Chains A and B, each alone.
Chain A
Amino acid sequence: MDETTRDSKPGGLTNEQVRHIAVLARLGLTEDEIEVLRVQLSTILAHVDQLTELDTEAIPPTAQVIALHDVTAPDVPTPSFDPEEMLANAPDREGSYFKVRSILGYET
């Protein structure tokens, strides 16, 4: 659990919490967006809090609705995509690699 979320109650978010969630979501936001989202998310969360009216202690959760479990497929090799085709959409590349900025040493 995280410091910024632990002590808050669902329903009324702080700007600090909104900022924290945005970092978890890797989503850049302007200060104006943070303020709008704080209000809107708080309103939506207050609405969905109606679920606490229901006693679901003994109810099992439903993750998906069809009765399929452990679907397997025969392990048959099939042709893969051509690397040039896959790289055609890349914003940046070097040779047959996707090129990105440095990964180590970042701060958020």
Chain B
Amino acid sequence: MRPDTSSLPDASLTNLRSLLDTGWISARELTDSHLDRVAEADGPLNAYLRVTADLAREQADRADERLAAGESGPLLGIPMALKDVLSTKGVETTCGSEILRGYVPVYDATVYEKLRDAGAILLGKLNMDEFAMGSSTENSAFGPTANPWDVTTVPGGSSGGSSCAVAAREAVFTLGSDTGGSVRQPASFCGVVGLKPTYGRVSRFGLIAFASSLDQIGPFARTVADAAAVLGVIAGRDPRDSTSAPVEVSDYVGALTSDLEGVRVGVPREYFEVEGIEPGVERAVRGAVEQLRALGATLVDVSLPSTTYALSTYYIIAPAEASSNLSRYDGVKYGYRSAVEGDLVQTYMATRQYGFGPEVKRRIMLGTYTLSAGYYDAYYLKAQKVRTLIKDEFDRAFERCDVIATPTSPTVAFKLGERTADPLAMYLSDLFTIPASMAGIPGVSVPCGFSDGLPVGLQLLGRAFDEATPLRAAHAYEQSCDWYTRKPA
């Protein structure tokens, strides 16, 4: 008997792989079932900014031809969606901003090229905080995305569309980008797996730039094995991104194990003794750490004393880089242009005044200020020095452990509108994800329970270019519990 195709969106990538490879279902059927699911569920969620149904069906038919020819591959015939910060040739790409409304890229991001070559199918482009600046997806010019666990709460951000779509079964996997936590924090809020690879692991070519020394692309999926399979396809050196590293891409799926014998898990006290951490979050994460021990891991106390300074460091470095990167939006070559009377500078000023939203303006202003004459040493240079301290502390901690376990965020998903008036309160949501971003190391968020009925995430960090070990720990943990089988109503 054929499976009821309406339940296909619930299946994991691993299960779908065998259904596709044995010819039990076609990529076209799988794609249609997802398009139906998006049409039915996305109205109140607003995860998708646009659905590329015709393109998806075309790509599905090509995938079916490849499957019929006996080809196989981890992502062949798998429907997915991309955060709207990733360039897709011929498909509007807005970055959640009014200034890029109607902008159609003339080239593809390397990650999309790799996914397409692997036979993955693009269902559409996903909502996000404007230019990836935010922690709730409320900063999108195209309306907020809701959290499928409770539509009165935020999905996290900035990749909130990407985390929501995976949690709501609107895609098998998605890609997001993580500058200070924008993959891990929304994964935590939506109860899915989110991986930020090492800086340099995945090519940033075609990723619209926010903070170039921090930005990294990463996958969302419902299981760790699924995320590992996606990383295997998108990772690797790319001549078009000179910061992508020539480091061998390992077999991430093959490295997953069910036990953690010989793995040393560092537990940094600074991540548990923080003001504002919710008791339910602390309880769930401490329980998960105990479970890692039960699986064979050795727990090690480690100290990362500069943790409390990481947020300040980030809010100097990221806006500084952003103010420079976003100077390209001048209304000359693409995007919105104001029709204001006057000369070119007046055109620039009016274009940017109308085209950018409040958070983007705030960060451009902050970055321009800290880089301005007389303040560079006090802010930007100082922050870069503290960045060295943060990185050195991780290096020292990793001499004594192989993985570091922390909460992904101090709280579960907060209410829509709750923090929009207070930028600092919003920034605090990224307290636990920012340090790893500053150090450039990989981190994965995996569901580890619920607090007040909303998902909690366990963050597992690894050494630079060793995504395999945190993925292994996350997988062993995930498979020993049943959190990953829960789904929103």
Contact = CB atoms under 8 A, between A and B. Distances in A.
A64 B439 CA distance: 9
A48 B334 CA distance: 35
Interface in A14-56: 17-18, 21-30, 33, 37, 40-41, 43-45, 47-48, 50-52, 54, 56
Contacts of B312: 47-48, 50-51
B330 interface: yes
B428 to A, nearest CB: 10
Contacts, number: 187
Given A21-B365, A61-B385, A26 B330 contact: yes
A68 B126 CA distance: 32
Interface stretch (B29-37, B338-346, B455-463): B338-346
Contact of B343 (A13, A29, A106): A106
Contacts of B347: 100-101
Nearest to A89: B334
Interface string B314-349: 011000000100010011111111000011111111
B180 interface: no
B423 A65 contact: no
A51 B391 contact: no
Interface residues of B, number: 72
Given A40-B362, A98-B333, A56 B440 contact: no
Given A1-B373, A66-B245, A68-B242, A27 B342 contact: no
Interface string A86-97: 101111100000
B305 to A, nearest CB: 10
B243 A64 contact: yes
Contact of B388 (A23, A33, A47, A60): A60
Nearest to A103: B344
18 contacts: A5-B374, A10-B375, A13-B369, A21-B369, A27-B361, A44-B423, A50-B308, A51-B313, A54-B386, A54-B389, A61-B385, A62-B387, A64-B199, A66-B464, A71-B243, A73-B239, A81-B107, A90-B333
